[in-house]
Structure 1
Amino acid sequence: MKVPFFSKANLLLLAITVCSPWMSISGQIFQRSLHGIKSNVQGLDVQIEFYSPNSVRVYKTPENSSYTKKSLSVIKTPDQVELSVDEQGDIIVIESNNLQVNYNKKTGKISFLDKQGKIIFTEKDYGAQFSPFTDAGNQTYSPRQAFLLEKEEAIYGLGQTQTSQMNQRNQKMYMRQKQHEGGYAYIPIIQSTKGYGLFWDNYSPTTFTDNPQEMAFESEVGECIDYYFMYGTSADGVIAQIRELTGQAPMYPLWSYGFFQSRERYKSQKETMEVVDKYRELGVPLDCIIQDWQYWGPDSNWNSMNFDNPEFPEPQKMIDHIHEKNAKIMISIWASFGQDTKQYKDLKAMNALFDFITWPRNGGVRAYDVYNPKARKLFTDYLNKGLTSKGIDGWWTDSTEPDHLDAEDKDFDIPTAMGTYRSVVNAYPLMANKGVYENQRNYTSDKRALLLTRSAFAGQQRYATNIWSGDIRSTWEVLKKQVPTGLNFSLTGIPYWNTDIGGFFLWDYEGEVANKAYQELYTRWFQYATFTTMQRSHGSGVSKEIYNLGKKGDWSYDSEEKYINLRYALLPYIYSTAWQVTNNASSMMRALYMDFNTDTNVHNIGNQYMFGKSFLVAPVTDPMYVSSTENKWKNPKENFSTIKTQNVYLPEGSKWFDFWTGETLNGGQTIQKEVPIDIIPLYIRAGSIVPFGPKVQYSTQKNWDNLEVRIYPGTDGEFVMYEDENDNYNYEKGLYSTIKFEWNDATQTLTIGDRNGAFPGMLKSRTFNLILVDAKNGIGSQQSDKFTKKITYNGKAKKVKL
């Protein structure tokens, strides 16, 4: 018997259903809710709710539980989805227009099927478990749910796991936010090559297991099993579902895509200003200088949010000087305070400090209760008074795991405003960054929020965070792990991620940055970072400014300068890709399976990826010139002019252009690419249209009134160029413009569409210098004056035959 319900035409039936909650189909009693069904099986109360035609929440509690959960990550409320219900023996079938959910009345097993009735994903029979658990004296549960995967299915995600493999099958992970020679930012979201995703919505330490028998999530604390199934049919579709549930990523300011220079700390305002001055003197582009910790003075004054260090006697002068040099300043703030700070005293008075040892051990520093809204407001009130009002441009929200030293099991019992610390620990970075972001939005709409932070949880993309991979060690092994780590992180729906270029701890190298062995690692790392969402040099106890690695003419200096300039040339492409992230739930760093899922060869490739939809990036993550046979990498005398090669797989389904030479290659093959010290393998997908910006010293120095546009033929293609005012929220009011470029390969014609939209200061007319790329004009990173055609564009559509 099939019963349609909740369509617009039967609101009366809906009212009757709500008033008479228990219904019977062929004698089986269950409750129909506004968005699905409720049932009882095997001692559990079960709710199945459609949040959209493609996403379903499954919520299970021990029967007769009165517990109701409000998610910290999911902000969407369920849509009014037209559904139908059908009873087929022991199976209750709930269908939307796009998805079918089968519920077994006897075992409680829930399966998800496509409209053709093919199983996409399924629970295991009797797979739900609630084991009794005592949490700080309270009787609760450890919830567990087991699922079944297909043998050849690949899965990705789980956050920042610091593993060397891309495919997360056959893994067991204890998922708790921590910092230990690299950040572990666990996010219990997976997605599959079958086109679905799963979010396990629990904030306590969780064990993920996948083996030949099952895949399972088991959390230490929870009154419920709560997960969301999302059917996107593709990786982009899954990420769109994740963002629909947990929030969209806002636009970051244009300057955030330029080059950032940092040190473990600059020790004085004089030193900070001198670094900016030196970059401007050298003519090397720079958009942001980062002032790390201890500008506040001793540890007892930790994170006072004031320049109490006597080496910073005139902080406003420093900030103004940096701005006069057309650079921005980002500053370190922590979710903890030293015992001599006013914040510490006020938070202690409201019982909003955690009594466990955090970094640093000195000064009695304590983390604060970010789950307490009053504590978050106190935090931001002090922030505004001490730093925001001085014109700080961005926030380095450090230690948002937070650092947790000693006696963790005991410390998990401490109370927070939302339950025990154990029950919410993994959501700490979400709540810490929430406070800072929302404060910035309330403080001003003229300056977009930008938060660089060390940890993350599901939904954090809505708080303008760019997560970095933690205090990682400077080794080739660690560099190699960063590529699949960043890709798996991005697949959880949080699109902005980066690393410390060259690693944080240089323990393994003699002579620090002057060591040529280290410079090889740094150079390769820098090339890779050019194609992440933030190009940022940082490290502990060393000075990584370009002029400290050599001088012009040295390969280390020249390569770094080359890739900084390439980054700035790509700003129109990167900023337009960022708009796709915000407007269309896209991703900037893309695992190969996202675009080439039918090519099963890419399913386990973790050392290559797409940067946007056009660039195939294959970072060099093995030493080509120096190998260490001892504990320390001694300064070598190798000849770095020798040309080595690296294998690169070109996915099938496309032709590929070598970015440096213009050579065209077929997909579906592994090739050897020559990789001298200044070359990273880069390939452009046929059909790509890539705008290149002018040579500049900072992101907004020149208008984009004279752009080079490269067309890579071989198939049809399109690109949408996005522009706005670069650093305010007027784009949310519709003040922006887009120009669509379309390439017809059969007729060799480029169509530049009408400009859509407008904003203050928009260019009325501009020049496009069009280049049809081939092996005869392989131009690499250098802009060319050998244009195929030069046109003037005034916002009206044009067709150009090339």
Structure 2
Amino acid sequence: MIVTYKQKLIIIFRAVVLALVLLSTQTYGQSGNQLTPDPKAVIQLGNARFTVLTDQLVRLQWGPPASYDNRASLVVVNRKLPVPTFSTHTENSWFHLKTKKIELAYKINSGVFDSTNLKIRFLNADTVSWKPGQKQKYNLKGTYRTLDGRDGELDQYSRQKIQLEDGILSRDGWFFLDDSRSLRLDNSDWPWVTTPGAPKLDWYFLAYGDDYKSALLDFSKIAGHVPMLPRYVFGYWWSRYWSYSDNELRELVQNLKRFDVPTDVLVIDMDWHTKGWTGYTWNKNLFPDPSGFLKWTKENHLKTTLNLHPADGIQPTEERYNSFVAYMKADTSQKKPIPFEASNKAFMRGLFDIVLRPIEKAGVDFWWLDWQQWPNDSKIPALSNTWWLNYTFFTDKAMHGQTRPLLYHRWGGLGNHRYQIGFSGDTFMSWESLAYEPYFTSTASNVLYTYWSHDIGGHILKGNEKGVEPELYTRWLQYGGFSPIMRTHSTKNAAIKKEIWNFGPEYAKPQHDAIRLRYALVPYIYTMSRKTFETGIGLCRPMYYDYAKQAESYIYKEEYMFGDNMLIRPVTTPSRDGFAAVKVWLPSGNDWYEWQTGTLLKGGQVIERSFSIDEYPIYVKAGAVIPMYNDQIQNLDKNPSNLTIGIFPGATGKFQLYEDNGNDKNYGSEFATTAIEMQKTGIEQVVNIHPAVGKYQAMPERRNFTVKLFGTQSPSKVLLNGKSLQFNPEKREGSWNYDGSNLCLNILLPDHDCKVAQQIRISYDAVQAPEVTAGLVEKFKRLAMITAALKSGDNGNEGMYIPENLGIAEETNRLLGYHPAQFFNYLKQFEHSYKLVPEEIRSLKSLDEQTKNKLIRLLQ
């Protein structure tokens, strides 16, 4: 393989970036080398010290230099960064420090920082300036510890709104962190919480204007990057609070397979153990052989997590009580419980080494830590138990586990982004809860807490409901496919059944499709998770990250970007006459392809759209390249040898696919990227799949790519590396076919070396007809709905007669697949027949006027 000079530069650049990223991503063991800034970045003026961390981030300290505290705080874990270019000078007793983006001024020998002697302005925006004591007016908020007991943004009992914490981002254009009295971490082998030092002030100031992405990146440089999640996390999680037994879980998994529901994570709630709330001993009535059960989960490619409520400490009834007491050198004569104490290092070491490690070694992959008790530690009142449990559980796994550390718990406060997945708690099953979650989830990215996991479908029944509302649950599951973690869950209530086989076909099919679509998008999602690790930009992010200067980005809070190339506007209200209406803002700057209706829409407008239960508002950037898996994948244990490249109409596009082993700790240096580019000029389209660059364990050496060009007409010629591919409707490798229902050209490439480039060149007979991306896919669907309604017999027609033009129009999609060479002839025939369908329906004597009008409305 020949590597070009440009490719070499890209490789070198990524290596430098990764080195910097990994330097600031230590999850434990914050060393002095990492925490002490480069002396070249430090300016000392008496008791005042300024440390230039980036060109828009500065640390400000005041106090006797001997008292400065360079240990890690709970928030700041890195200060040794490349020194940015800056200059200093003194003028009229004022000290000036200037970088490319900020200018700081401090009056020399004027004492402790205040609004009269210190000021900072952002050079890229005249309106952004700051003085000590200045308050933000337009903070864009962060997140909240839990949604327990919430019905939307309201507490179900008090009816008070959630007050989200302030985040890093604000329309004021700056962020201020007072780290003066924050708890610190010592320099032991397992850094432990300790009190702060003596300096009077320890501040951090970050100016960014409306460049929100740069703010998150710079904050992550000092607060640590969001660690990579294992790939399996992005699959489907089955969870339910239920007294499952070994037999019942085996039957559940068998049924999931029978209904073709891929599953990666099995969540087992608190009944796995004995003695109620807190416990660490398996309930042998439900799991007579825990090791055998966990061996079965591994054989079925399931990752297992168990629920923990550690507040009651270690009880005398626990299997490992005596070993734990001996480790703690406690008095065993009274057989008293050993109280829980998170800040006690000996207790926590014993909890992991004596109690939890044997369970992990038997096959538990990670813990669901469900802390719901007192907020702060009894010995260190300033220490949040939630924050500290996140730290201890995650870092213990990092030190002792062979795979990537992972934790599933609640938000504990700033800095907790280093400990990954949030469990949002027990929400009510309501449309209001569904409507609030998209905003809540994307806004959490403002504090880098990018991986919230919600109880999809809600947790608790609201009011007099007798069970799951099928439409609400289906819409929630569709949203779940475009949330960070796709996990269904509910409380212990026999009336709440979320298994797909409990629903009729009207809802079971879209539920199945939602889970399948999630799995299809994992290569795209996983690439975005790498970007989260490197930049701090979340998978689900507010619109203003990308469109800060467009006022609508701050108004339409229910919609969000899903990675770089998809805009999602969830359905959060019930349907009327079979369709749910949503109002969506499409930002200017590019056009958007409404995937499930096949409609290319102009950016820069607010429109109202309607969707049947099996459709979802997914807007893909025009020209986007989206890597996908096919519908055969059942779990995410490994990278499959088959990969699909989805290409969307309306512009040119490119994508750099990221892949690694999926669960090892070597992702910093062992990974591969594959660049994919698409260009279209006139009647010719070219797709280039560049050689994979890099290597990782178990990397596929050869691959079968399928290139899917959505929203396109049939081709006149398809060339692969200069050789012609033939039309073959049987979907054989080395051929192409046409999916008329989705107006999608499918090109099936033969088995190929991943390190060798491939080029696909597609020629068309004419410039594409605008009808192809004007909702023709949706028209086909609605014609099928009308035909099914007429054949049902419910309206008196009894399926005896399907009007001629309806039949012709409804079957056009199939003809396009059979005979793509006749594409334009069939399209012309369709347009003629489609216009006549309303009159045909009006002429049906077996239908009443209400039914006729209802069917005709489907065509509008």
**TM-score range, shorter-chain basis?**
0.7 to 0.9
Q: Deviations over 1:310-349 (max 9, x none)?
A: 3222111221222222222111123423462568899999
- The 3-state SS of whatever aligns with 2:656 is strand
**Contact persistence 2:226–2:532 (CA under 8 A):** yes
CA-CA distance at 1:60 after TM superposition: 5.2
Q: Would you say 1:593 and 2:544 are equivalent positions?
A: yes
Show the counterpart of 1:147.
135
CA distance in 1, matches of 2:639, 2:70: 53
Given residue 96 of structure 1, which amino acid in structure 2 is its aligned partner? T
- Aligned equivalent of 1:603, options 540, 554, 557: 554
CA-CA distance at 1:574 after TM superposition: 1.3
Q: Would you say 1:192 and 2:170 are equivalent positions?
A: yes
**Compared CA separation, residues 273 and 224, structure 1 to 2 (3 A):** farther
- Aligned equivalent of 1:432, options 389, 392, 401: 389
CA distance in 2, matches of 1:367, 1:520: 46
Given residue 326 of structure 1, which amino acid in structure 2 is its aligned partner? H
Given residue 294 of structure 1, which amino acid in structure 2 is its aligned partner? D
**Compared CA separation, residues 186 and 314, structure 1 to 2 (3 A):** farther
Gaps in structure 2 of 5+ consecutive residues: 1-37, 184-196, 715-736, 763-860
**Compared CA separation, residues 693 and 35, structure 1 to 2 (3 A):** same
Given residue 439 of structure 1, which amino acid in structure 2 is its aligned partner? D
* Residues 676-715 of structure 1 aligned to structure 2 (within 5 Å): 676-696=612-632, 698-700=634-636, 704-715=640-651
CA distance in 2, matches of 1:81, 1:677: 53
CA distance in 1, matches of 2:454, 2:200: 36
**Compared CA separation, residues 192 and 319, structure 1 to 2 (3 A):** same
* Residues 130-279 of structure 1 aligned to structure 2 (within 5 Å): 146-149=134-137, 155-157=140-142, 159=144, 189-193=167-171, 196-201=174-179, 226-232=202-208, 234-279=211-256
**Contact persistence 1:396–1:452 (CA under 8 A):** yes
Show the counterpart of 2:114.
108
Q: Would you say 1:741 and 2:685 are equivalent positions?
A: no
Q: Would you say 1:751 and 2:688 are equivalent positions?
A: yes
Identity of aligned pairs, percent? 23
- The 3-state SS of whatever aligns with 1:244 is helix
CA distance in 2, matches of 1:285, 1:375: 40
CA distance in 1, matches of 2:336, 2:595: 54
* Residues 9-48 of structure 1 aligned to structure 2 (within 5 Å): 35-37=41-43, 47-48=49-50
- The 3-state SS of whatever aligns with 2:120 is strand
- The 3-state SS of whatever aligns with 1:238 is helix
**Compared CA separation, residues 767 and 375, structure 1 to 2 (3 A):** same
Please report the TM-score for the alignment, with normalisation by the length of structure 1.
0.74
CA distance in 1, matches of 2:558, 2:478: 14
**Compared CA separation, residues 781 and 225, structure 1 to 2 (3 A):** farther
Q: Would you say 1:582 and 2:557 are equivalent positions?
A: no
CA distance in 2, matches of 1:181, 1:442: 44
**Contact persistence 1:253–1:448 (CA under 8 A):** yes
CA distance in 1, matches of 2:338, 2:503: 46
* Residues 127-526 of structure 1 aligned to structure 2 (within 5 Å): 127=133, 146-149=134-137, 155-157=140-142, 159=144, 189-193=167-171, 196-201=174-179, 226-232=202-208, 234-299=211-276, 302-308=277-283, 310-338=285-313, 340-341=315-316, 368-399=340-371, 402-404=372-374, 415-416=378-379, 420-421=380-381, 423-425=382-384, 428-445=385-402, 447-463=403-419, 465-513=420-468, 518-526=469-477
CA-CA distance at 1:185 after TM superposition: 10
**Contact persistence 2:315–2:337 (CA under 8 A):** no
CA-CA distance at 1:759 after TM superposition: 2.3
Show the counterpart of 1:537.
488
CA-CA distance at 1:575 after TM superposition: 1.5
Tell me whether 758-767 or 539-548 shows the greater mean CA deviation: 539-548
CA distance in 1, matches of 2:667, 2:212: 27
- The 3-state SS of whatever aligns with 1:677 is coil
**Contact persistence 1:546–1:560 (CA under 8 A):** no
CA-CA distance at 1:668 after TM superposition: 1.0
CA distance in 1, matches of 2:525, 2:233: 11
- The 3-state SS of whatever aligns with 2:438 is helix
CA distance in 1, matches of 2:123, 2:464: 58
Tell me whether 594-603 or 527-536 shows the greater mean CA deviation: 594-603
CA-CA distance at 1:36 after TM superposition: 4.1
CA distance in 1, matches of 2:235, 2:440: 23
CA distance in 2, matches of 1:373, 1:779: 63
Structure whose residues are more often helix by fraction: 2
CA-CA distance at 1:646 after TM superposition: 1.4
**Compared CA separation, residues 791 and 147, structure 1 to 2 (3 A):** farther
Given residue 796 of structure 1, which amino acid in structure 2 is its aligned partner? V
CA distance in 1, matches of 2:677, 2:430: 43
Please report the TM-score for the alignment, with normalisation by the length of structure 2.
0.70
- The 3-state SS of whatever aligns with 1:294 is helix
Structure whose residues are more often strand by fraction: 1
Which is greater in Rg?
2
Q: Deviations over 1:654-707 (max 9, x none)?
A: 100011122111111111211222322111011310122121353247853332
Show the counterpart of 1:20.
none
Q: Deviations over 1:157-196 (max 9, x none)?
A: 3556869xxxx9xxxx9xxxxx999998976532134654
Show the counterpart of 1:10.
none
**Contact persistence 1:722–1:739 (CA under 8 A):** yes
How many residues are matched? 668
CA-CA distance at 1:551 after TM superposition: 4.6
CA-CA distance at 1:736 after TM superposition: 1.9
**Compared CA separation, residues 243 and 562, structure 1 to 2 (3 A):** same
Given residue 114 of structure 2, which amino acid in structure 1 is its aligned partner? G
Show the counterpart of 1:137.
none
CA distance in 2, matches of 1:250, 1:586: 12
**Compared CA separation, residues 756 and 70, structure 1 to 2 (3 A):** closer
CA distance in 1, matches of 2:310, 2:49: 37
CA distance in 2, matches of 1:34, 1:701: 46
**Contact persistence 1:572–1:692 (CA under 8 A):** yes
CA distance in 2, matches of 1:782, 1:544: 38
CA distance in 2, matches of 1:180, 1:375: 37
Given residue 108 of structure 1, which amino acid in structure 2 is its aligned partner? D
